[in-house]
Amino acid sequence: MNQHDIDNNGYIVKLKRHFTFRNHLCLVFELLSYNLYDLLRNTNFRGVSLNLTRKFALQLLSALLFLSQPELNVLHCDLKPENILLVNPKRSAIKIVDFGSSCQIGQRLYQYIQSRFYRSPEVLLGIPYDMAIDMWSLGCILVEMHTGEPLFSGTNEYDQMMKIVEVLGMPPTHILEQGTKTKRFFDRLPDNTWIPKKSKERRYRAPGTRKLHDVLGVDAGGPGGRRVGEPNHSVSDYVKFKELVQQMLEYDPKRRILPFNALQASFFKRTYDETSIINHPSSATTTAAVATNILLTNTNNNGTNNVNSLLQQNNSLMTNHSNIPLSSNLNSNGSPNLDPKHNNLHPAISEARKVTNKTNHLHINGRE
């Protein structure tokens, strides 16, 4: 991957060298900073602004676009906040790390992939998967970065699927009929319709009754009304964000939005925030100009997506972003404020975030 990213436009961690030590393969990567879960913890799990969420989305979509190039066709298979690292603790530039579960199209190695909160319906249902699974994970991540809470925080695979159904409604029949594990989650009625399998442990809301609109607080001032009156958190901004996330969380992987199309979403038409421009007026004109150009469709004479051109434009835009401070809520050494008063987890994720080290492998309870 690094050989295809000579201009450093792919937002992928750089492998510096590798060697063998006592029959162990050792990999040396570039030094990066804190991960996005650390950043969420620094907000006391209240989430980052819509503007910062937008900056992260732009970079992560560019990374997925880079990985989707025909000469790569790489599935990450484990996108989550813990695997997205800040390049600098005071800036918004990020890179994706941990390709330990990754594979290429046609060379799928594992059935059990993706951390549970970010696991796609096709993986849960036992349907052959492709690069669309990473787009699903990204949709979940973006909501979590802004709200501070996982969108689907299942304690097991059944609970995970039911929490997806609460928000998105029932999966299409043709998707359910493809799954080898569908009957773990759904019952088929005599008229060939499907309903959620009932649980003895807990009751769930009716399918589709926990609206994404309400989770995001589209017309209520953001999640929990916490963004009322903040610049660039208007109803229009939230509608654009919700529309993009909905396309990322499409049940049918064939209809799920592609990275190239997602980068042209209306959500990215505003790519800088007013607060940053006040503090960095010299960058305002340049950033706005690049933001206007980035949304142009890049095609060659045959109508093929010009991936490299779009990546270069995105990188130009994010170069401006990386010079904008990430947050004023940092310690004097530039690290996120991880003092005990910021370490109280939201009840929905307190157990899921406990870390245990087993057989030299790091597990996140509830997120494996």
pLDDT tens per residue across span 16-70:
999 999 999 999 999 999 999 999 999 999 999 999 999 999 999 999 999 999 9
Residue 47, judged by CB atoms within 10 A of its CB (0-12, 13-18, 19+), counts as: buried
| pLDDT tens-place string over residues 83-128 | 999 999 999 999 999 999 999 887 866 778 999 999 999 999 999 9
pLDDT value, residue 357: 33
Rounded (10°) angle between helices 235-248 and 132-147: 150
pLDDT confidence of residue 297: 35
Confidence at residue 339, expressed as pLDDT on a 0 to 100 scale: 36
Residue at 63: amino acid letter = A
Predicted pLDDT at 23: 97
| Residue-level pLDDT at 295 | 35
| Extended beta strands in the chain, E state | 15-21, 24-29, 74-75, 84-86, 94-96, 103-104, 186-188, 194-196, 355-358, 361-364
Q: Which residues contact 107 (CB under 8 A, 6 or more apart)?
A: none
Return the CATH superfamily for domain 33-259+334-364.
Answer: Transferase(Phosphotransferase) domain 1 (1.10.510.10)
| Catalytic residue status for 78 | yes
> Residue 178 burial (CB < 10 Å; 0-12/13-18/19+)?
middle
Q: Which residue has the tokens 């989550």?
A: 80
What's the confidence (pLDDT) of residue 127?
95
Asked if 352 contacts 365 with a C-beta cutoff of 8 angstroms, the reply is: yes
| Burial of 18 per CB tally in 10 Å (0-12, 13-18, 19+) | exposed
Q: Say which of 5, 38, 78, 214 is annotated catalytic.
A: 78
Residue 298: CB partners within 8 Å, gap ≥ 6? 305, 306, 307, 309, 310, 313
- Quote the DSSP letter at residue 126: T
Kindly give the parts of the chain with pLDDT less than 70: 3, 108-109, 270-368
β-strand 194-196 against 186-188: which pairing, if any? antiparallel
Q: What percent of the chain shows pLDDT beyond 90?
A: 66
The predicted structure's pLDDT at residue 283: 36
